[in-house]
Amino acid sequence: MLTRKALRPVLSRIIACGSGETIVVHAMYFANTTAAARTFRVHHLSQADSATSDNAIFYDVRLTANSTLVDSTRIMLNEGDQLVGVSDAAGVTCTIYGVRSA
């Protein structure tokens, strides 16, 4: 596991690729641990990017109550890249599996 982050109603970093690193994301799990439906967004940003619909990986994805979404699309993060996310309310957890190398 590379990281586990709770998504919140404020856009925040999920994972960042540091100096001299590369990260290959193998799978992302999004778990809604509440009794209500939730929506979330995830963006893949380079160093100069801000979150827009152009760099969205997931955009307004709806998770039904007490459900999990698994995505196994491989994503390469290069030095300075990051994944950021936001949800409409607390209760969505993002867990990322993959490989970090220097």
Using H for helix, E for strand and C for coil, what is the string for 7-72?
ECCCCEEEEECCCCCEEEEEEEEEEECCCCCEEEEEEEECCCCCCCHHHEEEEEEEECCCCEEEEC
Q: pLDDT for 23-76, tens place per residue?
A: 999 999 999 999 999 999 999 999 889 999 999 999 999 999 999 999 999 999
Q: How many residues does the chain have?
A: 102
pLDDT at 82: 98
pTM beyond cutoff 0.85: yes
pLDDT at 97: 98
Tell me the torsion sign for CA atoms 34, 65, 53, 58. positive
pLDDT higher than 90, residue 94: yes
Domains of the chain from N-terminus onward: 3-101 (2.60.120)
Q: Please state the rounded mean pLDDT for residues 73-88.
A: 97
pLDDT at 48: 86
